[in-house]
């Protein structure tokens, strides 16, 4: 198991999931090599729930980084990132972003962002102001 997978499983233990019981941990490596982690945290107002992946991206952004080089997501059943998270990831990564899913037994499967979000609403398709 690689370093990011161990970190994702470690932070998964800190997830706050009293409503769904679905704990998620995420660890990403930025283009500069820095590592950021996140765990999901639920809220009774379900729309206010924050996914682990977006939590890790937020930590990366607040440190001044904007490019994701690698992502690992740990769940009990190796579930993929949700659609909202995939869209957020596409803002800060290329379609060939390696995404590793890890289940509760430590089994890993390798994917890319394009496999999960083949026709992303990409920043490159929209006129940017900067």
pLDDT digits (tens, 9 = 90+) for 10-60: 999 999 999 999 999 999 999 999 999 999 999 999 889 999 999 999 999
Catalytic residue among 42, 53, 65, 70: 53
Q: Are 99 and 73 in contact (CB under 8 A)?
A: yes
| The model's pTM | 0.92
pLDDT at 69: 98
Q: Are 9 and 106 in contact (CB under 8 A)?
A: yes
H helix or E strand, kind and range, residue 29: strand 25-30
* 78 — pLDDT class (breaks 50, 70, 90): very high
Percent of the chain with pLDDT over 70: 99
Contacts of 112 (CB under 8 A, 6+ apart): 95, 96, 97, 98, 99
98-102 and 68-74 as β-strands: parallel, antiparallel, unpaired? parallel
Q: Are 104 and 25 in contact (CB under 8 A)?
A: no
Q: Is 53 a catalytic residue?
A: yes
pLDDT at 1: 66
């Amino acid at each position: 198991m690689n370093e990011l997978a161990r970190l994702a499983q470690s932070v998964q233990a800190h997830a706050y999931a009293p409503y769904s019981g679905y704990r998620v941990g995420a660890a990403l490596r930025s283009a500069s090599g820095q590592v950021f982690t996140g765990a999901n945290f639920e809220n009774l107002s379900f729309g206010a729930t924050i996914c682990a992946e977006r939590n890790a991206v937020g930590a990366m952004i607040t440190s001044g980084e904007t490019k994701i080089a690698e992502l690992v997501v740990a769940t009990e059943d190796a579930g993929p990132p949700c659609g909202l998270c995939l869209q957020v990831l596409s803002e800060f990564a290329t379609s060939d972003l390696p995404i590793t899913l890890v289940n509760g037994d430590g089994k890993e499967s390798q994917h890319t962002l394009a496999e999960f979000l083949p026709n992303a609403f990409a920043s490159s398709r929209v006129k940017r102001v900067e």
